[in-house]
Structures are given as structure tokens and as C-alpha cells.
Structure 1
């Protein structure tokens, strides 16, 4: 099992989740984070830390976010690993809660 970063992380990219990950399973794109399913140990520490509520266990992934399971797996193979807390984008709070941001994903 693994955890999956979904739509609401796009353009928010808070890194609170990264700071608590014991196995450095997060990878960073221009405006989104992903989790490598091969590294994730299913500890769930990241879930309560995400201010955007964008992280789900794969078995609890809402149907409308199903594509993010494969997207996390693919992008984690090309994006750089992130292991430390970073400041979110200046407009992150404005994007938090905006629905259907998939078309805004950069760096695929």
C-alpha cells in the first residue's frame, strides 16, 4: 500500500508532509508534490500534516482522483527528491480548496 498526493496539492505545494516522512518518499515538481509508491512505507504520518488535505491512502482514494495513483508513480521517477520543509508559493492559500486543478499541473 501507498499514499497518493492528489489534485488539491497543485499550486499549493505545502511541504509540511515532507518534513515528517521517515523514508523521504516525496518528490517535487514545479507546482505539485508526489509520493513514490516503492518508497512509501504506509505510515500515514503525512496525512494529518497536509494543510490541503490532498493525501489519501491508495485504498481510500476517491474515484475522481484515481488517475493520481499512476501519476504519483510516474512523476516520482523523474522529479527530484525533496526532504526538507520549504515555503509554499505566495498564493498557495488562494489555491487551497480550488477544485479540478489537473490541467494546471506543470512538469509532466
Structure 2
């Protein structure tokens, strides 16, 4: 099982979640982050760190954001891993 970054991350790209990830499974896209489904160990460390509540267990992704499950898998293959906190796109 894996966790999924969903729509609330789009345009924000907070990186609080990446620094707590023990397996470095976050990947950085231009407008949001993605979780690699084969690297995620389902530890849930990232969930409480997300200030916009964008991270869900794949079984609990809201219906309107189900397409983000496949998007995370696809985009994590096309983007670079991120392991350090960066300035978010959104204004605080």
C-alpha cells in the first residue's frame, strides 16, 4: 500500500513532508509533489506534516481525486527525488 499526494498540493508544494520520509519516496514536479508507490513504506509520517492535508492513503483518496493515484505513480517516474525542505510556491 502507499500514500498519495492529491489536489491540495497543486500550486502550494510545501515540502514539510519530505524531510520526515524515512525512505525518500517524494518526487518534485513543477507545481506539486508526488509519492513513488513502490518506494513508500506506508509509515504515515508525512500525513500530519502536510499543512494543506493533501496526503491520503491510497484506499482513502476522496473520489474526486482518484486520478491522483495514477498520476503519482506516473510523475514519480518522470521527476527528481526531493529530500530537503524548500520554500513553498504558496504564500504563507
Task: Return the TM-score normalized by structure 1.
Answer: 0.83
Match of 2:44 in 1: 44
Q: Structure 1, residues 42-68: CA drift from partner, whole Å, max 9, x if none?
A: 000000000010000001111111000
* 1:75 corresponding residue in structure 2: 75
Runs (5+) with no aligned partner, structure 1: 95-108
2:11 and 2:23 mapped to 1: Cα distance?
A: 24
1:58-80 deviation line (CA, Å, top 9, x unaligned):
01111111000000000000100
Please report the RMSD computed on the Cα atoms of aligned residues, expressed in angstroms: 0.9
Q: Determine which structure has more spread, i.e. the larger CA radius of gyration.
A: 1
Who is 1:88 aligned against?
88
TM-score by length of structure 2 reads 0.97
* Shift >6 Å, 4+ stretches: none
Q: Which residue of 2 aligns with 1:102?
A: none
Report which of the two has the higher share of strand.
2
